[in-house]
Amino acid sequence: MLLVVNIGNSNIRFGIFKGEDCVHSWVMNTKPYKTEDELFSQFNMTYQNYGISTDDITEIAVGSVVPHLTYPVRKSLSRLHNVRTVLVNRNTPTELLSASPQMGTDLYANVYYAHKKYKGTKIIVDFGTALTLICVDKNGEVRGAIIAAGVVTSLNSLISATAQLSDVEMRIPKKVLGKTTDESMQSGIVFGFVSMVEGLIDRINTELGEETYVIATGGTGHIFAPLTNRINIYDRFHTIKGLRELYLNHLAQHA
């Protein structure tokens, strides 16, 4: 089976694929940063908890936007499985057009999988450490992207910069107008971000002169996707599916 690893700024997501199906997936915190030995032990313990044998993994693909974690993660996985890891990134050849050389691996994987999976012009909204929207048309031309502070990033910034606001549970409030401080903060974060995403999608559609198909992904995407009709589908595995496609492209290039 193929193990796909997405090293992000907040989390590392793992996905084990049997063919096109992701049969196991889990997430671990990126911070605090860990050594190769710590990662080795944590990976091994996770496999035991999920009943996964290291011998089941015969291929490993890694995508990363955290350079100083890339090596220790790859090295610990190679030790654990005795398998060479393959790093996929913006330089992995695809049929995408006009992709920026500065594009992060996660954005590249998002836009490539959307191009392979869905028809027409697509927007991929990733609710991660950063909120990102990236657009690709039916011909595989990347039309551009938007990057803003993510949901949790914004909430943490609000809490750290104010004297009397404390951490709150990330959940959907019953009403827009909150009666308590917690409800008011939840409304501002949840409904505020929904409104921003809707507004950005509308602006993109106006700029392009067409209606786009919108895919949402990312750690908090499941909270926001049901709150708007602008999002057509939510797929929490969208990014690692994209990394898998990049890995398959890499194999084809080196066959």
CA dihedral 220, 51, 29, 172 (to 10 degrees): 20
Return the SS3 of 66. coil
Choose among 104, 101, 100, 27: nearest CA to 65: 104
Residue partners of 221: CB distance under 8 A and separation at least 6: 125, 126, 127, 234, 236
Catalytic status, residue 56: no
Dihedral of CA 151/111/16/45: which sign?
negative
Q: How far is CA 245 from the centre of its chain?
A: 15
Other Cβ atoms closer than 10 A to 143 = 18
Q: What long-range pairs does 139-143 form, CB within 8 A, spacing at least 24? A: 139/97, 140/94, 140/95, 140/96, 140/97, 140/115, 141/96, 141/97, 141/98, 142/96, 142/97, 142/98, 142/99, 142/100, 142/103, 142/111, 143/98, 143/208
Of 55, 106, 182, 235, which is the active-site residue? 106
| Cα-based distances in Å from 53 to 42, 50, 153 | 14, 9, 36
Strands 21-29 and 11-18: antiparallel
CA–CA separation, 255 vs 246, rounded Å?
A: 14
Catalytic positions, written as ranges? 106
